[in-house]
Amino acid sequence: MQTKITLLLLCVFLLVAASVPAQCARQKGDLDLQGMTSRELTWHMGNGINLGNTMEAYGHKSLGTGADPADYETLWGQPITTPEM
C-alpha cells in the first residue's frame, strides 16, 4: 500500500512539474524567434566574447610560461576577461 501511495504522489508531482514550463514558456514581449532571419537573430544577440581563446597565447615565445596571466590574455589584442563579459 505504501508503494502505491508513493507512486501516486510521484506521478502527481511529475504532472505538475511538466506543466510549469508550458505555462511560463511564452510571455508578452518575447521575441518571435521562429519568424526571424539569421541576420535578425544575430543582431538581437549582440556582440560576444570568445572566452575559449583567451588563453591560447600561453607559452608564446615572447612571453614564455612564467608571465602574468593578463599578459597572455592581451597578447593578441583582446581585453582582459572580467565577470561582466
Furthest-apart CA pair in the chain: how many Å? 73
Q: Where are the alpha helices (DSSP H) in 1-85?
A: 2-24, 38-45, 69-74
CA nearest to 57, candidates 81, 31, 42, 75 = 75
Q: Please give the single-letter amino acid code of residue 11.
A: C
pTM (2 decimals)?
Answer: 0.37
C-alpha cell at 30: 518575447
Model confidence over 43-58: pLDDT tens digits? Answer: 888 877 666 665 677 7
Question: CB within 8 A of 59, min separation 6: which ones?
Answer: 65
Question: CB within 8 A of 35, min separation 6: which ones?
Answer: none
Q: What is the pLDDT of residue 9?
A: 84
